A = this chain, B = another copy of it.
Amino acid sequence: MTITPPALSVFESLESEVRSYCRGWPAVFDRAQGARLTDEDGHSYLDFFAGAGSLNYGHNNPVLKRALLDYIERDGITHGLDMATTAKRAFLETFQNVILRPRDLPYKVMFPGPTGTNAVESALKLARKVKGRESIVSFTNAFHGMSLGSLAVTGNAFKRAGAGIPLVHGTPMPFDNYLDGRVPDFLWFERLLEDQGSGLNKPAAVIVETVQGEGGINVARPEWLRALADLCRRRDMLLIVDDIQMGCGRTGAFFSFEEAGIVPDIVTVSKSISGYGLPMSLCLFKGELDVWEPGEHNGTFRGNNPAFVTATAALDAYWADGQMEKHTLARGEQVEQALLALCTEHGRLGASYRGRGLVWGLEFADPARASEVCARAFELGLLLETSGPKSEVVKLLPPLTITPDELDEGLRSLARAVAATV
Contact with B along A148-167 (1 / 0, CB 8 A): 11101111111111111111
Answer whether residue A410 sits at the interface, using C-beta atoms and an 8 A cutoff.
no
Nearest B residue (CB) for A152: B148
B28 touches A85 (CB 8 A): yes
A81 touches B108 (CB 8 A): no
> What chain B residues lie within 8 Å of A184 (beta carbons)?
182
Contact with B along A75-116 (1 / 0, CB 8 A): 111111111111011001101100000000000111101111
Q: How many copies does the complex hold?
A: 4
What CA separation (Å) do A19 and B192 show in the bound complex?
29
> What chain B residues lie within 8 Å of A75 (beta carbons)?
31-33, 59-60, 65
Contact with B along A367-395 (1 / 0, CB 8 A): 00000000000000000000011100000
What CA separation (Å) do A390 and B283 show in the bound complex?
28
> What chain B residues lie within 8 Å of A25 (beta carbons)?
83
A166 touches B166 (CB 8 A): yes
Residues of A in contact, count (CB < 8 Å)? 153
Answer whether residue A16 sits at the interface, using C-beta atoms and an 8 A cutoff.
yes
> What chain B residues lie within 8 Å of A157 (beta carbons)?
196-198, 202
Contact with B along A16-56 (1 / 0, CB 8 A): 11111111011111111100010010000000000110110
| Min CB gap A235→B, angstroms | 13
Given contacts A96-B14, A118-B147, contact A215 B197 (CB under 8 A): yes
Which one, A134-142, A324-332, A342-350, is touching chain B? Answer: A134-142
Given contacts A14-B109, A166-B166, A168-B169, contact A389 B196 (CB under 8 A): yes
Partner of A51, one of B14, B116, B215, B300: B300
What CA separation (Å) do A129 and B162 show in the bound complex?
7
Answer whether residue A278 sits at the interface, using C-beta atoms and an 8 A cutoff.
yes
A172 touches B147 (CB 8 A): no
**Which of A140, A141, A154, A388 is packed against the most chain B CB atoms within 10 Å?**
A140
A65 touches B72 (CB 8 A): yes
| Min CB gap A367→B, angstroms | 11
Answer whether residue A323 sits at the interface, using C-beta atoms and an 8 A cutoff.
no
> What chain B residues lie within 8 Å of A353 (beta carbons)?
none
B197 touches A389 (CB 8 A): yes
A168 touches B171 (CB 8 A): no
A78 touches B146 (CB 8 A): no
Answer whether residue A413 sits at the interface, using C-beta atoms and an 8 A cutoff.
no
Answer whether residue A183 sits at the interface, using C-beta atoms and an 8 A cutoff.
yes
B293 touches A115 (CB 8 A): no
**Which of A26, A68, A195 is packed against the most chain B CB atoms within 10 Å?**
A195
Instruction: Give the top 7 A-B pairs by smallest Cβ distance, nearest first.
Output: A128-B164, A79-B277, A197-B389, A147-B147, A172-B199, A18-B292, A155-B199
Further 20 A-B residue pairs, CB within 8 A, beyond A28-B89, A159-B298:
A6-B84, A10-B89, A16-B108, A16-B110, A22-B83, A31-B74, A31-B77, A32-B76, A60-B78, A65-B72, A115-B279, A115-B300, A121-B147, A125-B162, A129-B164, A140-B195, A145-B299, A160-B201, A166-B169, A166-B201
